[in-house]
Each structure stands twice: as structure tokens, then as C-alpha cells.
Amino acid sequence: MLRVTKARSPLAAVAIIIMTSVLFHVVIVETRRLPLNFSIGGLFKLSFIGFSALTHWGLYVSLLAAFALTLRRGHTPLITAMAYRLHGTLSDEMIRYTRWVTVAWALFFTAQLLTSISLFCFAPLTAWSVFVNLLDIPLVVTMFAAEYAVRLRVLRHPPRHSFRMMFDMVSDCMHRPPAGSTPPSGLPRP
């Protein structure tokens, strides 16, 4: 069985992701005049474009599937399962809210994927690279901030979480709740 280890620092993980994204964008922009062919330069450029595209698309297809598949009848929405794991019991208001947050994230992932593919097919390569390599993380952060603002506005007693708490919750999401715990009534076991 594969053992998943926790990241030691969320800031270090984010810094590595940002530096890698910027590096890939710089290489794609600086090689924009190189033709995509079977020359050394063309293959070098193609490897950076291919890695960026496949990583971005693979990530968003995986996230979309992970979130959307939990929205099927008889399943616990992913954010609901995470909230249950974090808080234990959930109010009906929180169950409804977390379901809609799961829907919102699935729509966000769909929009990211469709925008990336459309830019790749119909826009200059540098425009696609800006979206995939430079705007991706700020868009995800904006989505988190928007959800947090909606949470504070919509819920009567909104939970507040630190960045570290959210990072730990996401990194722990592969583990099941402790044995013997059951989800709130009406929810299938996550």
C-alpha cells in the first residue's frame, strides 16, 4: 500500500510550485521563436509545453473528477466529508452549504480546464502560458477568498480556519474518520 506523507511546510510547497511555474513560463516565452520540430531546440521547447499542458490538464481533470463524482446521489460531497472530518457533527445548514461549495469548486475546475484548452488551441502560446503558469495559483487563491467571503456572509455561525489548518485538512483528506464515528444523519459514510 502506498504511504502518503504530510508536507512539512505549506509555504515551502507553495514556493516550489510558484518557482517551477515561473521557470516554465520564462522558458516558453524565451523559446517562442524556436519552431516546434524535431531539432534539439524544438524538442526542448516541446518538452516544456507538453509538461505544462499535461500537468495542468491532468491536475484539473483529476480535481474535477474527485469533486464531481462525490456529487452523485448516495455519495457525500467532498467538502462535506472534509467539514465532517474537521468538525465531527454538521448542522443541516452546513451540509447544504458544503454541498454547494463542492459544486462551486467543480465548476471552477471545469472553467480552468476549458479556458486552458481553448487558449492552447486558439491563442498565442505565450497567452496560454500566462494563464497556465502565472495566473493559475492567483485564480485558485481568489476562489478560496471568494468562498471564505461567501461563507462569512451566508452562514449564521461560519467556521474560521487558518491556512495551516486548511492545508493539514487537505493533506489528511485521504484518511477515513476514526473507527466508530458516523456521519450526521442522512449522510452516507465518507
Residue 189 Cα distances to 30, 70, 178, 185, angstroms: 51, 12, 12, 10
Q: What is the structure's pLDDT at 106? A: 98
67-76 per-position pLDDT tens digit: 999 999 999 9
| pLDDT tier at 62, thresholds 50, 70, 90 | very high
98-146 per-position pLDDT tens digit: 999 999 999 999 999 999 999 999 999 899 999 999 999 999 999 999 9
Is the predicted pLDDT of residue 25 greater than 70, yes or no?
yes
The model's pTM: 0.76
Q: What is the structure's pLDDT at 48? A: 78
DSSP string spanning the chain?
Answer: -PPPPPPS-HHHHHHHHHHHHHHHHHHHHHTTTS-SSSSHHHHHHHHHHHHHHHHHHHHHHHHHHHHHHTTSTTS--HHHHHHHHHHSS--HHHHHHHHHHHHHHHHHHHHHHHHHHHHHHHS-HHHHHIIIIIIHHHHHHHHHHHHHHHHHHH-SS-----HHHHHHHHHTTTSPPPTT--PSTT----
Which range has highest mean pLDDT (27-36, 78-87, 106-115)? 106-115
Alpha-carbon span 75 to 183, nearest angstrom: 12
More confident residue, 161 or 6: 161
